[in-house]
Structures are given as C-alpha cells and as structure tokens.
C-alpha cells in the first residue's frame, strides 16, 4: 500500500506499507528517500517475513514540509504519528544517518515504540567540526548531473531540492536538536546495533562508541576503512546479514 498521511502542521508524509509479519520501519538519510533501501536490502524478500513500512521524511521525495521548519526531533514526531496512524504499537527499525538520529529521538521520546533497532552512522551530538562540515555542505555547488539525480528522486520541484541542500546548515545551527546526554541514552529500551565506519569524516568513531556505551542493550559493529553510511555497494551484503541477524534474534528470556 502506498499512501500519504497529512500531519497537524499540514505536511504530507508519503509512505509504503507492505508485507506480513513483525513490523520493520526503514528510515533513510538526509536528501535521500525510502527507495534508497532498495540498494541495501532485497525489500521484496523482506516482505515475505516482515511488514515493511518505509516513508519519505518531511521535505524529501514525495513528502512535503508545509512550514519549512525542519528538525530531527520533528522527524521523530512524524514517525510516532505514522505508527499511530497504522496502528503499530511497537516496531523494529533500521535508520541510516538522518534516519538513525531520528530513531534516537523516537527511542527516547517514546521508548516503548521501538523493540530492536539498527543505527547506521548515528551520533549523540554534533561536535563543532561536524557543524562546520554541515555548513560547508550547504554552500557547495551542484553539477547538472547532481540536479538531474535529485530531480529524479524528489518530486516536488526545484524549490524542494534547494531546501534540501540548505538543510545541513539549519541542522548545524540548531544547538538543541542533537544533544543526547548519558541520561538520555540510558533511557533507551530497544536492543540496539550501532553500525559505523571507522573513517567516517562526519561522525568520528568515538561518537559511535559513546552511543554503544550509553545505550543499555547495545552492540557495536565497526566497518574497517569505511566512511559514512557503510551499507551500500561493497558493504551491502555484510551489512544486510548483520542487520537481519540482529533484528531476528530474540532474548532467551
């Protein structure tokens, strides 16, 4: 099923909901769409054993962002609204970068909603070096090929794409959105697999270790020599195996 959910501020969230079994929520990265997971998992096969829910974050893909405001906390509130709409009390989840940070918010705002999760290229906070890189990304020029690739994925026009490319600077200036303390992380109930490349220029490996040490029931999966989002291309097969093993395991008690 494909559909759009209108939330309280007038934004429309495009989502897909298909398959049967336990619910598995997939959350993509910044400037991505839910279709990115076609390059990570065999989604058709997943739907044989999971009820797979995937949606475009506000302002991405076929979703709108009515107010123009964007924060990761707001994305998390959208997730909870969507779960309520679908009647899903609890889900397993995989989040990539923006999606992983969104899951951190969901797992602290509503800990009971997430049973097991995989956080790929996540961080508890934005160090100043990360903020500088985000500001730099927001002012980078874009080639005709980059424009064409974005137009194929984000279907609400060039103004939507321009807003997406400015978004990293907005995240960099928001000092309260990504500021998880040890106390915050300790409140997370979900079994959590933290996945990180040990050469990620945006989020140094120390931040992944901080998540691993702070979340009570966590494991750390480090990809040697890999950068940000080590789940595509050469890393796809190993990540898919690790993620499915984690999400399919259940505590013996």
Query: What pLDDT does residue 1 have?
Result: 79
164 secondary structure, DSSP code: H
User: Is 169 part of any domain?
Assistant: no
* Mean pLDDT rounded to a whole number for the chain: 96
**pLDDT by residue (tens digit) across 26-53?**
999 999 999 999 999 999 999 999 999 9
User: Is 143 part of any domain?
Assistant: no
The Cα–Cα gap between 182 and 207 comes to 12
pLDDT band, residue 2 (cuts 50/70/90)? confident
User: Is 136 part of any domain?
Assistant: no
**pLDDT by residue (tens digit) across 187-222?**
999 999 999 999 999 999 999 999 999 999 999 999
User: Is 170 part of any domain?
Assistant: no
Q: What angle do CA 4, 91, 253 make, to 5 degrees?
A: 170
CATH number, domain at 241? 3.40.50.1820
The pLDDT of residue 252 is above 50? no
User: Is 243 part of any domain?
Assistant: yes
Q: The whole model's pTM is what? A: 0.96
**pLDDT by residue (tens digit) across 118-149?**
999 999 999 999 999 999 999 999 999 999 99
Give residue 205's domain range: 2-126+177-248
The pLDDT of residue 253 is above 50? no
Pairing of strands 12-19, 2-6: antiparallel
Is the Cβ–Cβ distance between 177 and 73 less than 8 Å?
yes
Judge residue 122's burial from the number of C-beta atoms within 10 Å of its C-beta, 0-12 exposed, 13-18 middle, 19 or more buried: buried
Q: How far is CA 66 from the centre of its chain?
A: 21
Tokens describing residue 188? 């997370």
Q: How many domains does the structure of the chain reveal? A: 1
Task: Please spell the DSSP secondary structure of 211-225, one letter per residue.
Answer: HHHHSTTEEEEEETT
User: Is 119 part of any domain?
Assistant: yes
Is the Cβ–Cβ distance between 15 and 55 less than 8 Å?
yes
The Cα–Cα gap between 133 and 152 comes to 26
């Amino acid at each position: 099923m494909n559909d759009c959910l209108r939330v309280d501020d007038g934004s429309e969230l495009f989502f897909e909901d298909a398959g049967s079994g336990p619910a598995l929520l997939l959350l993509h990265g910044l400037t991505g769409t839910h279709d990115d997971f076609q390059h990570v998992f065999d989604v058709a096969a997943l739907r044989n054993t999971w009820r797979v829910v995937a949606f475009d974050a506000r302002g991405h893909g076929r979703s709108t962002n009515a107010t123009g405001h964007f924060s990761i906390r707001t994305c998390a509130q959208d997730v909870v609204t969507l779960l309520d709409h679908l009647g899903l009390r609890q889900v397993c989840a995989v989040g990539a970068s923006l999606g992983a940070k969104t899951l951190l918010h969901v797992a602290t705002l509503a800990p009971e909603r997430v049973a097991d999760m995989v956080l790929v290229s996540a961080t508890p906070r934005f160090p100043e070096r990360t903020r500088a890189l985000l500001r730099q990304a927001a002012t980078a020029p874009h080639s005709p090929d980059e424009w064409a690739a974005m137009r194929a994925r984000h279907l609400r026009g060039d103004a939507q794409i321009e807003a997406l490319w400015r978004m990293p600077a907005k995240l960099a200036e928001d000092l309260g959105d990504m500021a998880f303390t040890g106390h915050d992380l300790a409140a997370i109930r979900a079994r959590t697999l933290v996945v990180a490349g040990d050469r990620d220029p945006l989020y140094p490996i120390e931040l992944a270790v901080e998540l691993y040490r702070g979340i009570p029931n966590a494991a750390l999966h480090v990809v040697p020599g890999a950068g940000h989002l080590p789940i595509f291309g050469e890393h796809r097969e190993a990540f898919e195996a690790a993620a499915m093993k984690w999400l399919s395991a259940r505590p013996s008690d």
